[in-house]
Amino acid sequence: MLEDLKIHSLFCCGTVFEAREILTRLVPDVVVLDINLSDGSGIDLLEMAKSQNPATIVIMLTNKSGAYYRKLCKTMGADHFLDKSTDFEMVPYIIRNMK
């Protein structure tokens, strides 16, 4: 889905631990996060990413798309909040049209 975007570097992490390691070493332009990860919450990573670099675009992509999580993530600085079941295809569009 992201192949056509000509992304310079792409890192995939399955755990909060792995993502923290990446976020400590790099300043990404975009971070795509799920709320549920095997060892914690992507919401903690949202906070970390935004505190380290407020310009990083954070896209929350989750099945937990209720109003509570949407409001929480937006309050914490998420730039986009997408429901995996209906909005998945918007990720490349958002990345392609970043300013």
pLDDT number for residue 6: 73
The pLDDT assigned to 20 comes to 95
Segments in the chain below pLDDT 70 = 1, 99
Domain regions of the chain by residue span? 12-96
R_g (Cα) of the chain, nearest Å: 13
Query: Which pLDDT score, from 0 to 100, does residue 10 have?
Result: 81
Assigned superfamily of 12-96: Response regulator (3.40.50.2300)
> For the CA atoms of 27, 88, 62, 31, what is the dihedral angle to 10 degrees?
0
Q: What is the predicted pLDDT for the residue at 99?
A: 58
